[in-house]
């Protein structure tokens, strides 16, 4: 067969998805996804760049850094980083976003697809103020679809296993890596 170029070719390779696997995708937050999000310290956000390529960015904070505003809306503050603003620029120009919510020690992942928007109004910023200091902006996601993803990938990778942790000694500091890559 070589390269797969048609969806039909995929259908020939794989069995049909179990009906429950298809049905588990829902269009709003409910008690289980809300509880998961409230306990989540780490997300991965996907946006799309001007060339149509997926762009992925990690976001993290204390559990609850992503707030559930209602059954169709979540939000989180943009925290200080490298100021590249790739994801933020992507959201302004192409608001479709995907999020993976991960909790250390738990194999399941919550996956959300929705439309992102950026907000700087005082009421929204004050929801995320730390030590009376509001963030520069807040990212809101209007939930289109969500599902609990099975834990197989986390289990196969042994991602949360202590015996699978890798010592960093094989990798230089991030500054050294960037200097090598950019010849600076």
pLDDT one-digit tens code per residue, 84-119: 899 999 999 999 999 999 999 999 999 999 999 999
CATH of the domain at 98: 2.30.110.10
Q: How far apart are CA 60 and CA 103, in angstroms?
A: 11
The verdict on residue 5 lying in a domain is: no
Number of domains composing the chain:
1
Q: From CA 147, how far away is CA 125, in angstroms rounded?
A: 28
Residue in 82, 97, 83, 84 with CA at minimum distance from that of residue 139: 97
Q: Which domain holds residue 81?
A: 23-159
Cβ-defined contacts of 81-88 (< 8 Å, 24+): 86/47, 86/49, 86/55, 86/57, 87/45, 87/47, 87/55, 87/57, 88/118, 88/137, 88/139
Confidence band, pLDDT 50/70/90 cuts, at residue 82: confident
Quick one: CA torsion of 31, 65, 104, 112, rounded to 10 degrees?
50
Residue 150 in any domain: the answer is: yes
Q: 2 or 29, which is more confident?
A: 29
Query: Which pLDDT belongs to residue 6?
Result: 92
pLDDT value of residue 75: 98
User: What was the pLDDT predicted at 1?
Assistant: 55
Instruction: Retrieve residue 157's tokens.
Output: 């990778």
Structural domain includes residue 6: no
């Amino acid at each position: 067969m070589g390269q797969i170029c048609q969806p039909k070719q995929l259908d020939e390779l794989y069995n049909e998805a179990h009906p429950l696997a298809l049905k588990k995708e829902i269009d709003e937050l409910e008690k289980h996804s809300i509880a998961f999000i409230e306990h989540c310290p780490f997300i991965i956000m996907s946006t799309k760049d001007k060339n149509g390529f997926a762009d992925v960015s990690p976001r993290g904070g204390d559990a609850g850094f992503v707030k559930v505003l209602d059954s169709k809306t979540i939000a989180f503050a943009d925290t200080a980083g490298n100021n590249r603003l790739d994801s933020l620029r992507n959201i302004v120009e192409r608001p479709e976003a995907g999020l993976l919510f991960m909790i250390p020690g738990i194999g399941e992942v919550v996956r959300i697809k929705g439309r992102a928007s950026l907000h700087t109004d005082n009421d929204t910023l004050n929801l995320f103020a730390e030590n009376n200091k509001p963030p520069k902006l807040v990212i809101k996601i209007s939930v289109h679809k969500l599902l609990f993803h099975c834990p197989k990938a986390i289990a196969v990778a042994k991602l949360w296993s202590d015996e699978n942790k890798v010592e960093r000694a094989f990798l230089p500091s991030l500054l050294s890596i960037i200097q090598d890559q950019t010849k600076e």
